[in-house]
Amino acid sequence: MIKKTLSVFIVLIMCLSLSACNESYKDAYIYFELNSIPSTLDPQLVSTKDEITAVRCLFDGLMRYDSEGKCVPSAAESYEKNGLSYTFIIKEDAAWKNGQELTSDDFVFAFRRAIDPKTKAPFSTLLYSIKNAKSIAKGELSPDNLGVYSLGEKILKIELEYEDSEFLNTLTTPITMPCNEEFFESCKGKYGLNIDALLCNGSYYVRKWYNEDKFLIRLAKNLDFKGPFEANSMRVYFTCTDSDNSEAVSKYNSDLAYISEESYNNAKDLNLGIINEENSCYMLYVDNDLPQELRQALLKSVDIKNLASSLNGTDRTANHIYPGSLNLGEIHKASDIISYNLEEAQNLYNQALKSNESPNITLKFYGDKTTEDVSKTIAAHWQKNLGEFINIEKVNTLSSAENIFDLSQNTVLILPFYTSCGSWSTYLSQFGITNMTPNEAQTQLLSNYTLLPLYFSNSYIIANDYIKNLDTSVSYGIPDIALLIKEE
């Protein structure tokens, strides 16, 4: 009897020990090397991949992608759709880190703030399918007219202007994350800019934030967070150094990192795990105020095939406007609308000069070295074939893709358009286009000779092999770090 009892005891101890070992990752610290230092962690204002990565850890929206890539309720317990209306029931135990209850008013305030033109939210166009959103963004109505309403502390109603099959996907993006109005007002214009001006409701919260001598954001697991997206790791450290991110991961200084196109080949040589997603299309924008003959001349004189030598990694020249991550299948070629024809371009250019002064063009670009190289190639081509001297200038900030249409006259700019949530209709909303098929939208965009797709670019994440779930945690090129497991 003693032997039997002892045997049972030993087996029990072994099972408990094995269980503890299997869940040891819950005490793990994840080190993530970013490409750039976040300038804000305000969900309505974040625009870079690095900023969005952090915000996805800190805030929990109505919907979220699970480990199988399905869009499921998160801060919402459930939802119902009736015609053009959605009704969301917010979880009873959902709360802010300070203990305040998460309510429908927090979403109403966030949505109204996001669409308010005074906010200058980079991705406000994602909300255009909501009733009155576009009119509010244009300043024609006040934000109070937005079709987002509180029907009780835990009941939120959203009315759409038109049918949007991708709307639930939009609700996974940072711009739709909740914002506590009382706390926001107490920050006096500094919301999201430092640790004291940030109130979170997500899987993690900010424990330390250093910006001066050496950048570091340290996140701690939110032990009060309720829901299916409880963080798998205890801490997350975001760093950003001057060194090659692939070297940092290979030497185990970081567990995973974003890398640039320039680092792609180095990462391959180091045998690191790489996940890439084609999630942006760089386009050439020519100001609509320039004469049509000049616009046509500039665009028709760009030979897209000649840009290939300027590209790095897995980037490729664009034959239409839709990045591969949208998985649209057969799309008409952009060359069916704007085709390379140097002789015609030269004739159009000469016609433009007969009735207009020389435009004195500066080709601006927003992006990395690849974009700069592409800009130099195009400028050199214009100078050689059109006889137009072109200045090149880097643009360091771009508050909104849609705002390019409000830039000063004679603007010629190369910039990216991103697939912010893997939805083609949401992608098109950046251009103010709704209720069109992908081919119809492309025809409308290109026929005016203001846009020309140049090349598709990728988002890269590298990781050591002990980081698990990375491939299933990534949506629109950005991982949900709460789903990652670090096995050591």
Q: 21 or 306, which is more confident?
A: 306
Asked whether 30 and 237 are in contact (CB, 8 A), the reply is: yes
Residue 177: name the closest of 36, 85, 76 by CA. Answer: 76
Tokens (6 digits) for 392:
């090149």
How many other CB atoms sit within 10 Å of the CB of residue 346?
16
Going by pLDDT thresholds of 50, 70 and 90, the confidence category of residue 447 is very high
Residue 58 has pLDDT above 80, yes or no: yes
Q: What is the predicted pLDDT for the residue at 25? A: 61
- The pLDDT > 70 percentage for the chain reads 91
Please compute the mean of the pLDDT values over residues 262-276 and round it to a whole number.
Answer: 79
Going by pLDDT thresholds of 50, 70 and 90, the confidence category of residue 308 is very high
End-to-end CA distance of the chain: 40
Residue 15 has pLDDT above 50, yes or no: no
Helix (H) or strand (E) holding 149: strand 148-152
Q: Regarding the domain with residue range 29-238+464-486, which homologous superfamily does it belong to in the CATH classification? A: Dipeptide-binding Protein; Domain 1 (3.90.76.10)
Please compute the mean of the pLDDT values over residues 166-174 and round it to a whole number.
Answer: 92
Residue 368: name the closest of 258, 220, 233, 478 by CA. Answer: 258
Tokens (6 digits) for 236:
């997350």
Please compute the mean of the pLDDT values over residues 475-482 and round it to a whole number.
Answer: 86
- Alpha-carbon gap, residue 350 to 412, rounded angstroms: 19
Tell me which residue has tokens 């990565």: 53
Q: Regarding the domain with residue range 277-458, which homologous superfamily does it belong to in the CATH classification? A: Dipeptide-binding Protein; Domain 3 (3.10.105.10)
Q: 430 or 397, which is more confident?
A: 430
**Ranges of CATH 3.10.105.10 domains, the chain:** 277-458
The whole model's pTM is what? 0.81
- Alpha-carbon gap, residue 60 to 339, rounded angstroms: 45
**Ranges of CATH 3.90.76.10 domains, the chain:** 29-238+464-486
Torsion sign (Cα): 90, 93, 97, 102: positive
Residue 13 has pLDDT above 60, yes or no: no
- The pLDDT > 90 percentage for the chain reads 59
Q: Which of 229-238, 399-408, 411-420, 468-477 has the lowest mean pLDDT?
A: 399-408
How large is the angle between the packed helices 342-355 and 369-386, nearest 10 degrees?
70
What b/e string do you get for 433-463 counting C-beta neighbours within 10 Å, with b at 16 or more? bbeeebeebbeebbeebbbbbbbbbbbbbbb
pLDDT per residue over 333-343, tens digit each?
Answer: 999 999 999 99
Asked whether 218 and 237 are in contact (CB, 8 A), the reply is: yes
